[in-house]
Amino acid sequence: MLGVPRTLIDAHGAVSEATARAMAEGVMGLTGADIGLAVTGIAGPGGGSAAKPVGLIHIAAARRGLPTHHEKLLLGNVGREEIRLRSVAEALRLGLTQAAIGAP
């Protein structure tokens, strides 16, 4: 739906900086919005690995005409609900930061 190339996911994984950036940029392309946010990660309780543990979250915020920003969170295995809530809060914070860049 967001136009993330399968080759990118195959190369980096669904939980990765590259995928989060492509998702945020894809939101803008799909909707015509000036800002796109994306979150991908391992919220648990299972699904983690040594390379990608539960609590690993990648967030990206894109704004038309500006570089896409990314943040990596390592929240730990603090519970699915806590991981989801903190991920949303951080995504909104990053989105607001992007919105404020260049604002009058």
Give, for all 104 residues of the chain, the pLDDT tens digit: 999 999 999 999 999 999 999 999 999 999 999 999 999 999 999 999 999 999 999 999 999 999 999 999 999 999 999 999 999 999 999 999 888 875 55
45: cis peptide before it, omega within 30°? Answer: yes
Pick the CATH number of 6-100 from 1.10.4080.10, 3.90.950.20, 3.40.30.10, 3.30.1330.40: 3.90.950.20
If phi > 0 it is left, if psi is from -120 to 50 it is alpha, else beta; for residue 67 that is beta
Reduce the DSSP state of residue 22 to 3 states and report it: helix
Report domain extents, the chain.
6-100
Q: Indicate yes or no: pTM above 0.85.
A: yes
